[in-house]
Amino acid sequence: GNSVTQMEGPVTLSEEAFLTINCTYTATGYPSLFWYVQYPGEGLQLLLKATKADDKGSNKGFEATYRKETTSFHLEKGSVQVSDSAVYFCALRSATNKLIFGTGTLLAVQP
């Protein structure tokens, strides 16, 4: 069946550090891949997405590339800010519209 595995947190970084949050998936067919973010006290919102192999999603300085050969969609940012502190969720949506999420990774950025 479909599944999403992402690195466990918490991830603690200093401001301006480089961020990588790993995400791998298992799916039949060609799912779409997403990163959602949940800021403290707020609901989930879409951060970025990619709908086919080799697509790169980007938003707010974050990037992730759909790698079919490694079934991965790792989230990266070159220089994190305190305001990036949040929980990040990797997700996939299959052709049957099943939408599943990883366990979430808490990112804490210290000034």
Partner 1 sequence: SQTIHQWPATLVQPVGSPLSLECTVEGTSNPNLYWYRQAAGRGLQLLFYSVGIGQISSEVPQNLSASRPQDRQFILSSKKLLLSDSGFYLCAWTRTGGFWGTEAFFGQGTRLTVV
The residue ranges that bind partner 1 (CB under 8 A) are: 31-32, 34, 36, 43-46, 49, 51, 89, 91, 93-104
| Rg of the Cα atoms in the chain | 13
Handedness of CA 22, 31, 62, 42 (dihedral sign): negative
| Residue whose CB is less far from partner 1, 37 or 109 | 37
Residue pair 21/105 in contact by the 8 Å Cβ criterion: yes
Q: How far is the CB of 14 from partner 1 (least distance, A)?
A: 24
Q: How far is the CB of 79 from partner 1 (least distance, A)?
A: 26
Q: How far is the CB of 86 from partner 1 (least distance, A)?
A: 14
> ω into residue 40 within 30 of 0, thus cis?
no
- Structure tokens, 22: 């790993």
| Residue whose CB is less far from partner 1, 5 or 17 | 5
- Report the alpha-carbon distance of residue 64 to residue 109 in Å, rounded: 20
Q: How far is the CB of 42 from partner 1 (least distance, A)?
A: 10
| Residue whose CB is less far from partner 1, 82 or 99 | 99
